[in-house]
Amino acid sequence: MGNANPSVSVIDDDPEFRDSVVRLLRTVGLHTRQFSSVHDFLTADPPEGPTCLVLDVRMPGRSGLELQRDLAAANRQVPIIFITAHADVPMTVQAMKGGAIEFLTKPFRDQDLLDAVEAGLARDRARRESDRALAALRERFDTLSSREREVMLHVVTGRLNKQIANDIGIAESTVKVHRTHLMRKMKAHSLPELSRMADVLNMRSQQPQNS
């Protein structure tokens, strides 16, 4: 799944416009999917690889802006390039505040659309790589014992082995053993690296109670 090819979904109720966009995208080797409505897009299976949307603002049924809000509410982070024949400032501001890559007004230059699609696919590719890295980090954290997690929580706050031993009531030598094991399991080569992992895992919100 991580190596799946990128694709672009074109959502517009005008079949001639959809076809023209698809032809343009295919000239640069991009796989495309066409939808005539927001409903058709939402009922289709999501693509496996990096993706972005070329989305008309105004369509019968749900609008492009409504789809943008729906995706955000569902935490589906899909880069969007909006297309419209009738733009106004409030509409453009709303779309860009919602995280749109670009807002193009018909007629637009082919290269402007291709540049926007390239940026959208790059953003989605980076997000997917970040998600995979986080999932791998969580898997490593799940291999820690409860005591190793407790020691890790103290370590990343800057506590020394002797202080940790006193905090949780175990021997300093035992703390050293747990610390060695958790560093190996987390694949952390230094304390700063372990601390960055803790930040990614949001462990700072679980601050230990030091005695």
Query: Is residue 120 within 8 Å of residue 99, measured between CB atoms?
Result: no
Instruction: Please write the tens of the pLDDT for every residue from 109-144.
Output: 999 999 999 999 999 999 999 999 999 999 999 999
Confidence of residue 205 (pLDDT cuts 50, 70, 90): low
Name the token pair of 179: 């610390």
Instruction: Please write the tens of the pLDDT for every residue from 139-173.
Output: 999 999 999 999 999 999 999 999 999 999 999 99
The secondary structure element, H or E, covering residue 184 is helix 172-186
> What's the predicted TM-score (pTM) here?
0.79
Residue 150: the pLDDT is 94
The closest alpha carbon to 94, from 108, 10, 84, 37, belongs to: 84
- Give the C-alpha separation, 112 to 105, whole Å: 11
Query: Read out DSSP for 153-179?
Result: HHHTTT--HHHHHHHHTS-HHHHHHHH
Exposed, middle or buried: residue 55 (CB in 10 Å: 0-12, 13-18, 19+)?
buried
Instruction: Please write the tens of the pLDDT for every residue from 72-85.
Output: 999 889 999 999 88
Where b means 16+ CB within 10 Å and e means fewer, 18-30 reads beebbebbeeeeb
3-state DSSP call for residue 81?
Answer: strand
pLDDT over 60 (residue 2): no
